[in-house]
Each structure stands twice: as structure tokens, then as C-alpha cells.
């Protein structure tokens, strides 16, 4: 039988912060990562759990000051259904649609994906490429952490033990193009072999690319930005030479590993190919 650790269900954020300050508790949101741990087969079960599911403050999707704000408890199903997301940031709905299958999308949350900090977490490269800001908080107050400072080591985040992920803010940029690609064994229910998110700014298709952001999942011990490749692409046009050069640069830049899901070699080649293809499609050749 699975372990059944004690759990408390705070009714508002202030109570949640107070409990977290009292002694460390493991939060549960949708439970799609945490409940797998209580069987004790994968990782160790938590000692004490804090159920976030009744915290209305952590729900909802809104547009505020040119930024899309998503509460930590926002599920993949809510992202897919949201008219606001469809209008302002459709790539996020595209990414949400690749997570698990419908049962997982109905329960799994954005905050859970962020806090779980898996190197294969599918939304994380997208949050990096979009320069999202993760807002966290606890009894000592709230603070904002840029996505590229959030996943600091293997399965380790910048969260303090008494802090919760509260919401994510994603700046909406007029001339920004964004692409998201996930490669897994099958379309549903597959942990990624490679996830790639690419963003750049360009007023017109013929323009040079600026503000290029390339982020990758499953190719390192955490989701990463590929900064050499970003630099390579900055100021370029989507030509064959650019695509070839960027593919070569990214293949040299990343250090993926062999594991049960894939090999380092496959991951390096696939990453390069996906990037090449995105640039080709953007160039329209």
C-alpha cells in the first residue's frame, strides 16, 4: 500500500504561508508528480504534505500590463481552453497539448511543472525562451525570479523551503515569433527526449532576427538556454547558411547524456535538426 502521510488543506494563502513557515511541508497541487512518489517506488515519499488545491489566489489567467499572468494552479486543460491564451500566446496552448494525456492535462499544473524542476519538464524551455518571471512567496513576503535564474541545478530550484510558487508572468511582445517542439516516443504520455523553444523578434519576415532566445529541455541536468547559439542567430536572417551554422553551433554547445529514454548522440542530432527545420520554415525556403 502507498504511504499516507499527514496532509493539511489551508483555505487561503496566509494560512498556507503560516503552515509552511512552521515546518517544511511538501506542497501538492495536481499531484501528477507527487502522487507517484507516495508509492515509494520512485523517490522517497514526503513526511508531511500541504494541499494547495483550495487556494483560489493561485488560480486564474489574466492580462496585466502587457503580461500574461497565470496562477500556479492553472492546469494544462485550462491553458488549452483559455481564449486569452489562444489570442495572446497560442504557443503556450500548443505546449500544454503535448503534456501527458487528457487525464494528466486535467490535473497537472504549471506551478507543479515549475517546482518539480524536471530536466524534461515540457513548459520550462518555453518559459525560458519567453523570459517569464516566476513569482514566489511565503511568510517573509513575495519575490520575483527570472526563469533563467530559477532552475539552478539538477532538480533544484531557487525556492526557499518555506516558499511557494504563486504565479508566472510572461511579457507579451508585439513582433515576437515563438516556436515550440517536443520529441518523445509517442504523441501522448511520453517523457521528452528533446524539448526546444525558440523566440525571436522581427517586424517583417525579411528582417534580421533580434532578441533571439533558444531554450532546451532533456539535454542537460536542468532546462537550459543555449546562449552560444542565441548569439550566433542574433542579427542573422533565416537563410540556409544561418540554419546550417546554427545547427552546428547548437550541436557543439549542448552536452546531453545517454539514459533510458534516448542517447546523447540522438539528442544532439535531433536538436540540431529541429532548429534547422524551424529556421528553414521561418525563411520560407
Ligand X SMILES: Cc1cc2nc3c(=O)[nH]c(=O)nc-3n(C[C@H](O)[C@H](O)[C@H](O)COP(=O)(O)OP(=O)(O)OC[C@H]3O[C@@H](n4cnc5c(N)ncnc54)[C@H](O)[C@@H]3O)c2cc1C
Among the listed residues 68, 70, 72, 132, the single contact to ligand X using CB under 6 A: 72
State the first-to-last Cα distance of the chain, in angstroms, to the nearest integer: 57
Per CB under 6 A, the segment of 60-68, 77-85, 116-124, 241-249 that binds ligand X is 116-124
Q: Looking only at residues 53 through 92 of this chain, which bind another protein when binding is defined by CB under 8 A?
A: 53, 77
Per CB under 8 A, the segment of 1-9, 124-132, 165-173, 222-230 that binds another protein is 1-9
Q: Does 74 bind ligand X (CB under 6 A)?
A: no
Q: Does 125 bind ligand X (CB under 6 A)?
A: no
Q: Rounded to the nearest whole angstrom, what is the least distance from the CB of residue 139 to ligand X in the complex?
A: 14
How far, in Å, CA of 264 to CA of 219, rounded?
Answer: 8
Q: DSSP label at 209? A: P
How far, in Å, CA of 112 to CA of 263, rounded?
Answer: 27
Per CB under 6 A, the segment of 79-87, 111-119, 171-179, 245-253 that binds ligand X is 111-119
Q: Looking only at residues 18 through 37 of this chain, which bind another protein when binding is defined by CB under 8 A?
A: 28, 30-32, 35-36
How far, in Å, CA of 217 to CA of 186, rounded?
Answer: 17
Q: Rounded to the nearest whole angstrom, what is the least distance from the CB of residue 26 to ligand X in the complex?
A: 5
How far, in Å, CA of 84 to CA of 61, rounded?
Answer: 8
Nearest to another protein of 13, 104 (CB atom): 104
Q: Which of 246, 241, 248 is nearest to 198 (CA)?
A: 246
Among the listed residues 16, 20, 30, 196, the single contact to ligand X using CB under 6 A: 30
With contact defined as beta carbons under 8 Å apart, do 116 and 157 qualify? no
Position closest to ligand X via CB: 112
Among the listed residues 107, 167, 179, 213, the single contact to ligand X using CB under 6 A: 107
Q: Which residues contact 211 (CB under 8 A, 6 or more apart)?
A: 173, 176, 199, 200, 201, 234
Q: Looking only at residues 31 through 70 of this chain, which bind ligand X when binding is defined by CB under 6 A?
A: 31-34, 36, 52
C-alpha dist (Å) from residue 79 to 70, 96, 136, 140, 183: 9, 7, 20, 30, 21
Task: Map residue 232 onto helix, strand or coil.
Answer: helix
Q: Does 248 bind another protein (CB under 8 A)?
A: no
Among the listed residues 39, 144, 149, 185, the single contact to another protein using CB under 8 A: 39
With contact defined as beta carbons under 8 Å apart, do 46 and 5 qualify? yes
Interface positions with another protein (CB under 8 A)? 1-9, 28, 30-32, 35-36, 38-39, 41-42, 49, 51, 53, 77, 100-104, 106-107, 187-189
Amino acid at each position: 500500500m502507498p504511504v499516507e502521510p499527514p496532509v493539511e488543506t489551508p483555505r487561503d494563502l496566509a494560512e498556507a504561508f503560516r503552515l509552511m513557515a512552521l515546518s517544511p511541508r511538501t506542497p501538492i497541487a495536481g499531484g501528477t508528480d507527487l502522487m507517484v512518489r507516495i508509492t515509494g517506488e520512485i523517490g522517497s515519499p514526503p513526511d508531511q504534505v500541504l494541499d494547495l488545491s483550495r487556494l483560489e489566489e493561485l488560480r486564474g489567467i489574466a492580462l496585466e500590463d502587457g503580461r500574461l499572468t497565470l496562477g500556479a494552479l492553472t492546469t494544462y486543460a485550462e491553458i488549452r481552453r483559455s481564449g486569452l491564451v489562444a489570442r495572446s500566446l497560442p504557443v503556450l496552448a500548443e505546449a500544454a497539448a503535448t503534456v501527458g494525456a487528457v487525464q494528466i492535462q486535467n490535473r497537472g499544473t504549471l506551478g507543479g511543472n515549475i517546482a518539480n524542476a524536471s530536466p524534461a519538464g515540457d513548459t520550462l524551455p518555453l518559459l525560458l525562451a519567453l523570459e517569464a518571471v516566476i513569482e514566489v512567496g511565503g511568510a517573509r513576503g513575495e519575490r520575483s525570479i527570472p526563469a533563467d535564474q530559477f532552475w539552478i541545478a539538477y532538480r533544484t530550484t531557487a525556492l526557499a523551503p518555506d516558499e511557494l510558487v504563486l504565479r508566472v508572468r510572461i511579457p507579451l511582445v508585439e513582433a515576437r515569433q515563438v516556436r515550440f517542439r517536443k520529441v518523445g516516443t509517442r504523441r501522448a504520455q511520453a517523457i521528452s527526449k528533446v524539448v526546444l523553444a525558440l523566440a525571436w523578434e522581427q517586424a517583417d519576415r525579411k528582417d534580421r532576427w533580434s532578441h533571439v532566445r533558444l531554450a532546451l529541455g532533456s539535454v542537460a541536468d536542468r532546462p537550459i538556454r543555449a546562449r552560444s547559439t542565441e548569439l550566433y542567430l542574433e542579427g542573422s536572417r533565416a537563410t540556409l547558411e544561418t540554419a546550417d551554422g546554427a545547427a552546428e553551433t547548437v550541436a557543439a554547445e549542448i552536452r546531453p547524456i545517454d539514459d533510458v529514454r534516448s542517447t546523447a548522440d540522438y539528442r544532439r542530432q535531433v536538436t540540431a535538426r529541429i532548429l534547422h527545420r524551424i529556421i528553414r520554415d521561418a525563411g520560407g525556403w
